[in-house]
Chains A and B, each alone.
Chain A
Amino acid sequence: AQKVTQAQTEISVVEKEDVTLDCVYETRDTTYYLFWYKQPPSGELVFLIRRNSFDEQNEISGRYSWNFQKSTSSFNFTITASQVVDSAVYFCALSDTGGFKTIFGAGTRLFVKA
Chain B
Amino acid sequence: ETGVTQTPRHLVMGMTNKKSLKCEQHLGHNAMYWYKQSAKKPLELMFVYNFKEQTENNSVPSRFSPECPNSSHLFLHLHTLQPEDSALYLCASSQDYGPQETQYFGPGTRLLVL
Contacts and interface: CB of A to CB of B under 8 A. Distances in A.
Interface of A: 31-33, 35, 37, 42-47, 50, 52, 91, 95-97, 99-107
> Could you tell me the dominant secondary structure of chain B's interface residues?
loop
A100 B45 contact: no
B105 A45 contact: yes
Nearest to A49: B102
B110 interface: yes
A28 to B, nearest CB: 13
Interface of B: 41-43, 45, 48, 56, 58, 88, 90, 92, 97-100, 102-108, 110
Listed from nearest, the 5 A-B pairs whose CB atoms lie closest are: A95-B99, A45-B105, A43-B108, A44-B107, A104-B43
A105 B45 contact: no
Q: Most chain-A Cβ atoms within 10 A of its Cβ — which of B56, B100, B108?
A: B100
